[in-house]
Amino acid sequence: MTTRRERANAIRALAMDGVEAANSGHPGMPMGMADIAEVLWGDFLHHNPTNPHWPNRDRFVLSNGHGSMLQYALLHLTGYDLPIGELKRFRQLGSKTAGHPEFHHTPGIETTTGPLGQGLANAVGFAIAEEVLAARFNRPGHDIVDHHTFVFVGDGCLMEGISHEVSSLAGTLKLGKLVAIYDDNGISIDGEVHDWFTDNTAERFRAYGWNVVVGDDDKPVDGHDADAIKKAITAATSQSEKPSLIICKTIIGFGSPNKEGKESSHGAALGKEEVALARKQLGWEYGPFEIPQAMYDSWSAKKSGAEAEKAWNDKFDAYAKAFPELASELKRRLSGELPANWKEGAAAFIKKMQTEGPVVASRKASQMSLDAYGPLLTELIGGSADLAPSNLTIWKGSKNIATGGAEGNYIHYGVREFGMTAISNGIALHGGFIPYDATFLVFSDYARNAVRMSCLIPAHTIHVYTHDSIGLGEDGPTHQPIEHLGSLRLIPNNRVWRPADAVESAVSWKVAIERAGNPSCLIFSRQNLKHNPRTDEQVANIEKGGYVLWEPAEKFKAIIIATGSEVGIAVEAAQSLGDQGVPVRVVSMPCTEEFDAQPVEYREGVLPSWCRARVAVEAASVDFWFKYVGLDGKVIGMTTFGASAKIDDLYEHFGITTPKIVDAVKSVIK
C-alpha cells in the first residue's frame, strides 16, 4: 500500500524527469505543491479521466501555470489520455505537454494559463457560471449543477493587479464554491520575495470578503502535512457563503538537497546529479519516468470518476423526468447548440433594421441588437466595466446576477477591465453561456492580454468596445483610441467588427454569437451614423467582412475602402466624384479578418487587383490599411493622437472629410 508521501513523490519524480529531459521548465513549484495536489486530487476533486467534459465535474485551474509538470503528472497518474511518452516529450514540438497548460491541447486542462493571475480570474468566471447556472436550473431535491472550482495560485499571481480586481469581485458576489490554494513559498524568479512582496495576504483577502483558512495559531497551513491540508480543504468546502483562500506554507523544490527553498529550483532543470540526490532524499527508488503499477493503481481515478458521473447521470435522468423542458434547455446550452429559432429570429431583425433604417449611434444599434437577440438566447450573459449607461450593454431583459435570482444575466464588473475580460474567458470555458464584456475602446489596452488569451485559448467571448475614435469628442486624446483597432486586428484568431450602421451592427452581433469557440471584438461609435441602402445580396455579404456598398453606373476608376462612421463620408465622396465624372466604388469593410478569410474569387470580386487606385478611410492609425491600398494608394486617418473638441471640429481638423477623400482619390488615379 502506497503512502501519501509516496504518492506525492511520484509527482515530484515526474516533474523532475520531465524538466530534466527537456532541459527546460520549472521543477520547483510542482515539487513544492505535490503534497497539496495529492490531497486535493485524491480526496476532494470530482472528475472523470475517461470523460474530461463531464458537465458536473469540479474545475481545477493551475494559475501558476509555469508549474505545468504538476498538472501533467496529475493527469497522467489519475488516468487521463496522457501517456508517459507525452511527459517524456515535455516542451517539445507537437507534444501534449506544452511549457504551460493549454486548453484544447491536453485532455483535462480547463483553461490555458501562464500569464500570472489570469488563471485565478478564469476560476472566478468558472465559479460565476456554476452559481448562475445553478440558480437557473436547480430545483428543490434536484441540485443538478453542483460543483466546486479549485485554483492553485502562487506569489506571482497575487502580486499581479488582476488578482485584486477579480478577488474583490468574487468576495462581493460571495462565490462560495470557489477555493483558491495559495502556494506561499516566498520565492520568485528574482529570489526571496520579502524585499518586494510583504502584503498581509490573509487580511487582504478577509477585507475582500473571503473565508481565509490558515493553520494553528493563525499561521499558514503546513503544505507538506497531508492531514493539515485535508483539514483546511474540508473547512473551505464545508461552507458556501464565501470564496475561500487556503494559505499553505511550502518549500519550493521540496526534496532537492541543494536547491530546495531557493530560486535556483524555480525555472531551470535541477541537473542530473541533483536529481539523483533528490531521488535518494525522497526515497524514490525508481528510474526516470518509471512508475510502479501499485502507484498507478493507487492514483487511478477512472473507477471513482465513472461512478461519480454515473451517479450524476442517474440524478439528471430523475431531473429530466420531473422537469423535461429545463433538462432539455440545459443540455442544449451545455452542448453549445443555438436555439432552433435563432437563425430565423436573427434574420428577421436584420431585415427589420435594413427596412427601417434607423439613424443611431452604433452603440445604440448594439443595444437594439441585444434587445432583439437577448430573448432568443437564455445563454447570453454580459456586463460592463462600470460604463453600462455609455456602452449601452444593458438590454430590456437584463437582470443583475447578484439580485436577479434565476433570471440573472448581467454582471456589474466595476472598473475592472482586465479582470472582467479574463472572467469572461472563464465563463465561456465553463459552458452553458455566451458571455460579453464591455468598456471604451481606448481601455481595451487594460484588457489586452486577456483579449489575447481569449483568442489563444480560444474562448467564445464577445468583447464590446464603444466610443471608437476621435468621434468620442470632448473627452480628448486620453479617451480617443487611435492605434487600438490595428492592435486588436493583429491578434491571431480575432475578429474585429466596426459596423457602419444599425444593419452592420446587427450582423456583427449575429456573427459573433455564431462564432462557436472563438472570440470577437465589436467596435461601436458614440455618434449617430447614417443608414445605408442595400440590396438583399449586399445585406447577405456583410457577413463576409467586406462587400461592395456603392457601385457607379459605369466602370469605376478607383475604390474607397472604409469602416464604421467613415463609411458615410466615403459614400458622400463617391457621389461627389461621380458628379465630377470620376466613377468610384465604395467597399464597406466592417471586419478585415473575415474578409481575408473569404475565397480569393470573392476577394478579387470586391477588390480587383487591376484597380490600384485605392483610398482607405478610418479615423484611426493609417498604417494598418496599406495592406489593402498598396504603395500606390493613400490612407485618410490618424497619424497623431486626437484632441479635445466637438466631433465635427475634430474631423475637420484632422482632415477626415469628404473633400479630403475626393482629393485623395483624384491623386491616385493615373
Active site residues: 417
As to burial, measured by CB atoms within 10 angstroms (0-12 exposed, 13-18 middle, 19+ buried), residue 515 is middle
DSSP labels, 41-96: IIII----TT-TT-TTPPEEEESSGGGHHHHHHHHHHHT-S--HHHHHTTT-TT-S
Q: Which residues contact 633 (CB under 8 A, 6 or more apart)?
A: 612, 613, 614, 615, 616, 626, 668
DSSP labels, 245-281: EEEEE--TTTT-TTTTTSGGGTSS---HHHHHHHHHH
Q: At what angle do helices 28-39 and 226-237 cross, to 10 degrees?
A: 60
Reported as type and span, the H/E element at residue 14 is: helix 4-22
- Among the listed residues 152, 153, 245, the one whose alpha carbon sits nearest the alpha carbon of residue 202: 245
Q: How far apart are CA 158 and CA 661, in angstroms?
A: 51
Cα dihedral 524→381→378→178 (10° resolution)? 170
Placement of cell 452553458 in the chain? 432
Placement of cell 473571503 in the chain? 210
Q: How far apart are CA 68 and CA 524, in angstroms?
A: 39
Q: How far apart are CA 587 and CA 542, in angstroms?
A: 11
In Å, what is the CA distance from 94 to each residue of 86, 89, 105, 113, 211?
A: 10, 9, 10, 18, 42
- Among the listed residues 94, 97, 117, 92, the one whose alpha carbon sits nearest the alpha carbon of residue 15: 97
Q: At what angle do helices 272-282 and 4-22 cross, to 10 degrees?
A: 180
